[in-house]
């Protein structure tokens, strides 16, 4: 019998958020979209807030990794 695979949801969502910010920065550097520096700061702040939100929501579970 196989063991169940446990997924660390915080790491999964945090990685997705970092990838999304990276894609935004890549598109801006390539010239595909024009994102001013102020909006990049807003996107980075939202990314940090998203990571903190996901880690806070997972904080009450028994699968914490301190």
Residue ranges covered by each domain of the chain: 9-57
Question: Over 80: is that where the pLDDT of 42 sits?
Answer: yes
Flag whether the pTM goes above 0.85: no
Q: Which of 1-10, 23-32, 47-56 has the lowest mean pLDDT?
A: 1-10
Here the tokens at position 63 are: 């699968």
Question: How far, rounded to the nearest angstrom, does the alpha carbon of residue 45 sit from its chain's CA centroid?
Answer: 11
| Higher pLDDT among residues 42 and 1, named by residue | 42
pLDDT at res. 7: 82
8 A C-beta contact, residue 63 and residue 6: yes
pLDDT at 26: 96
């Amino acid at each position: 019998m196989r063991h169940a695979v446990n997924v660390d949801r915080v790491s999964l969502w945090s990685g997705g958020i970092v990838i999304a910010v990276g894609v935004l920065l890549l598109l801006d550097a390539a010239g595909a979209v024009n994102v001013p520096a102020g909006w990049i700061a807003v996107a980075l702040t939202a990314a940090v807030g998203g990571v903190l939100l996901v880690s806070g929501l997972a904080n009450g579970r028994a699968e914490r990794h301190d």
